[in-house]
Amino acid sequence: MRKFILLIIFLTPLASLSTLGLAAEPELSASVDKQSARINEEIHLNVRISGAGSSLQAPRLPSLEGFEIFYSGRASRFSFINGQSQSMIEFNYVMIPRLSGRFILTPIEIKVGDKIYRTNQLELNVADQQVVASQPAQRPAAPIPAYPRPATQARSPAYGGAAPASTASAVPVSSDVSDQNIFLQVKPSQTTLYTNQQLILTYSLYTRYDTRYEGFIEEPETSGFWIEEFPMDQNLGRDTEMVKGRKYVRADVKKLALFPTAPGQYQIKPGVVKASVQIEETEPTMFDDFFNTSFFGGGSLFARRVEKQLAPPSIQITVKPLPDAGKPGSFNGAVGEFRMSTTVDKKVVNQNEAVTFQMAIEGEGNIETLIHPLLPEIHSVKIYEADTQTQLFRAQSMIAGKKVFEIVMIPGEAGEMTIPPIEFSFFNPRVERYIILKSDSYKIKVNPSKTPPPAVPKEISEGGLGDAKKSIRSEVQDIQYIKEQNTAGPVFLPRLVFWLALIDGVLTLLCLGLVAIRKRDEYLNQNVSLKRNLFAKKYAKNGLKRLDHLGKSSKSDSKSDAIFFDESAKILNQYLADKLNLSPQGLTHDMIERSLEARHADPLITQKIHACYDLCDQARFAKISFGEVDRVLMIKQIEEIIYALEKR
């Protein structure tokens, strides 16, 4: 009985709420932001429905000759106050008059449940003077071909969602009429620069319509420039932006890095972008706003869309020649900000044995066009230009990267070989002067040898540098056993024989152990890849201990971060090189990815490795400051990568 009473008490308020909800009549209204306008001047129509419940269908706009009507979005508000649910939905439209005169917009019909409700009637006056509202963008609109006149009966989208817009230059009906609700803006990072200096072009789509971006139908014309394109996310990021007092949604749809190859005046034609806007929609429910995916690629399957071709005007670029004053003799055209490091793979070699010298240049600029450094002649040394590895990093608004040059040197005489400092110079456009970098000088001890020099160094013919396999000659060591003579002796001879036999057994086991260790070392020396694989974890763990101490002892600023994350990249680089049997110098993301795929590694491991490298590159190249937490997370990420690869 008590349960029955509680059930009645619980259900009674719900029944009353349901009754109240059914009894409430929806309220409809229609309004415009202006009742008088001129030809091609937009009028904003707002249709508001309150208390309609969940069975609301889209408004049906009456036919209105002389107007183009575009759906521009909707807004929803829901509340639950004093036990009653309340809802309000607004449908917004843009009306563009094409004819002058007096027009009557008859009541708009909206179906709620089984009933049809109507809004109030609206009167509009359009002046005969054809004046188009001022263009929000600072550049003129580009004409596009006329498309068929769309139906004037506009409906709201099946997935709701007005997408705020971007600024563009496009034409709704004819090639001589501008649509200020959608345009494409192309912004150069600078219009005057030096030869081979980096120029960033950013393409931003601004729209106030429900818009679908459909890509380029004409690619940019950039004659006279070296081009690198930034990868864009499949789901374009969106930001709301005010342009001359009007709200738009902006999405960056393309980004290019251009490097001019010669001085002069250049004209860049940005190309033509295709987009479509929604003008007719199927009928939604009030809950569609929560599942809207229409902006830049979604929208209703049954929506009618009108194509827009957006072609911003050409951009004038002035390219200055590099100054002659102060130009060093080692300059080969590099422009940007770079740093240099050099290494040799060994300090002691035999005569006619190869030494690998590596020079790495990294920083901001056109890494791809860096050429081999000028090498001075060294007496009795043969020099071969070997492998070159390039790794690009596209960070936010710049192109950076690393290029590793590998040089093989073969000394023909015993004694001491000196590798003199190698000079690399570049022009820094920020300070407008040339910078000269010099490597360290290296002294290599060359032991005499009768081995003749190879016709082609093995390091070059095998395609590997610094990882050439060493030929180790195995030596067989005979084990001598003690021979005993049967001679007469004292009465305690059996005890002496026992101790001699025991010592002989211990020595035998010791010799066998030493032989086993020697054989193991010889086997590992002959199988370099196995040796590197076995010791990769040990070396990496030691490196992580040093890295942890470095992270705790250094300050938290961009300079310290660059040092910390540079060391992180080196540790990860060395571990992956040892584990995958690759050269640590010139190791690239593609090489790592291919090697992991060949070993059928989990793709998540590859993603983690790329994420670590990207974070290190941001700290080194983009000069982004990180906190202590980021350093700890970096160490943890490297440990997780090591654990995952060692577990296989």
* pLDDT higher than threshold 90 for residue 564: no
Strand partners, 11: none
- Return the half-sphere exposure (C-beta side, CA atoms, 13 A cut-off) of residue 545: 5
DSSP secondary structure of 63-90: P-TTEEEEEEEEEEEEEEETTEEEEEEE
* pLDDT higher than threshold 60 for residue 555: yes
pLDDT of residue 205: 92
* pLDDT higher than threshold 90 for residue 295: no
* pLDDT higher than threshold 60 for residue 637: yes
> Packing angle between helix 528-553 and helix 493-526, nearest 10 degrees?
80
Q: How far apart are the C-alpha atoms of 394 and 231, rounded to whole Å?
A: 8
Q: Is residue 155 within 8 Å of residue 118, measured between CB atoms? A: no
Name which of 108-122, 363-377, 550-564 the model is least confident about: 550-564
pLDDT of residue 332: 87
Average pLDDT, the chain: 74
Give the pLDDT band of residue 623 (cuts 50, 70, 90). low
Q: How far apart are the C-alpha atoms of 455 and 452, rounded to whole Å?
A: 9
Q: How far apart are the C-alpha atoms of 58 and 163, rounded to whole Å?
A: 17
Alpha helices in 468-557 (DSSP H): 493-526, 528-553
What tens digit of pLDDT does each residue of 373-431 get?
A: 777 788 888 887 777 888 887 766 788 888 998 888 889 888 999 999 999 999 999 99
Q: Report the predicted TM-score, pTM, of the whole model to 2 decimal places.
A: 0.48
What tens digit of pLDDT does each residue of 46-99 get?
A: 888 887 665 667 787 887 888 877 766 666 665 544 455 567 788 888 788 888
What mean pLDDT do residues 466-486 have? Answer: 36
Strand partners, 642: none
What mean pLDDT do residues 115-143 have? Answer: 62
Give the pLDDT band of residue 229 (cuts 50, 70, 90). confident
Q: Is residue 304 within 8 Å of residue 325, measured between CB atoms? A: no
What lies within 8 Å, CB to CB, of 554 at 6+ separation is: 560, 563, 564
Query: For residue 580, is it left (φ>0), alpha (ψ between -120 and 50) or beta?
Result: alpha
* Residues of the chain above pLDDT 90, percent: 15
Q: Is residue 22 within 8 Å of residue 55, measured between CB atoms? A: no
pLDDT of residue 94: 79
* pLDDT higher than threshold 60 for residue 626: yes
Give the pLDDT band of residue 566 (cuts 50, 70, 90). confident
Return contacts of 72-76, CB within 8 angstroms, 24+ apart: 72/44, 72/162, 72/181, 72/208, 72/209, 72/210, 73/161, 73/162, 73/163, 73/164, 73/210, 74/156, 74/160, 74/161, 74/162, 74/289, 75/162, 75/289, 76/160, 76/286, 76/289
Query: Which comes out higher in pLDDT, residue 384 or 485?
Result: 384
Closest of 31, 24, 93, 83 to residue 55, by C-alpha: 24
User: Residue 31: in which H helix or E strand, if any?
Assistant: strand 27-32
Return contacts of 589-597, CB within 8 angstroms, 24+ apart: 589/391, 589/613
Query: Which comes out higher in pLDDT, residue 140 or 82?
Result: 82
What tens digit of pLDDT does each residue of 437-455 get?
A: 999 899 999 998 766 655 4
Name which of 129-138, 188-197, 632-641 the model is least confident about: 129-138
> Packing angle between helix 628-647 and helix 558-580, nearest 10 degrees?
0
Q: How far apart are the C-alpha atoms of 207 and 240, rounded to whole Å?
A: 10
Q: Is residue 299 within 8 Å of residue 277, measured between CB atoms? A: no
Query: Which comes out higher in pLDDT, residue 584 or 172?
Result: 584
* pLDDT higher than threshold 50 for residue 140: no
Q: Is residue 68 within 8 Å of residue 96, measured between CB atoms? A: yes
What mean pLDDT do residues 256-284 have? Answer: 80
pLDDT of residue 204: 93
End-to-end CA distance of the chain: 65
* Cβ-based neighbour number of residue 371 at 10 Å: 11
Closest of 141, 133, 235, 143 to residue 183, by C-alpha: 141
What tens digit of pLDDT does each residue of 20-41 get?
A: 444 467 888 899 988 898 887 8
DSSP three-state, residue 570:
helix
pLDDT of residue 84: 55
Three-class secondary structure assignment of 258-305: EEECCCEEEEEECCEEEEEEEEECCCCCCCHHHHCCCCCCCCCCCCEE
The phi, psi pair for 476, rounded to 5°, reads -95, 125
pLDDT of residue 454: 55
Name which of 282-286, 397-401, 624-628 the model is least confident about: 282-286
* pLDDT higher than threshold 80 for residue 170: no
Closest of 200, 188, 174, 182 to residue 274, by C-alpha: 182
* Residues of the chain above pLDDT 70, percent: 69
* pLDDT higher than threshold 90 for residue 338: yes
Strands (E) located in 345-380: 348-350, 355-365
Strand order in the sheet with 36-39: 36-39, 122-130, 101-105
pLDDT of residue 486: 45
DSSP three-state, residue 599:
coil
What mean pLDDT do residues 161-180 have? Answer: 37
DSSP three-state, residue 494:
helix
What tens digit of pLDDT does each residue of 1-24 get?
A: 444 444 444 444 444 444 444 446
User: Residue 381: in which H helix or E strand, if any?
Assistant: strand 381-395
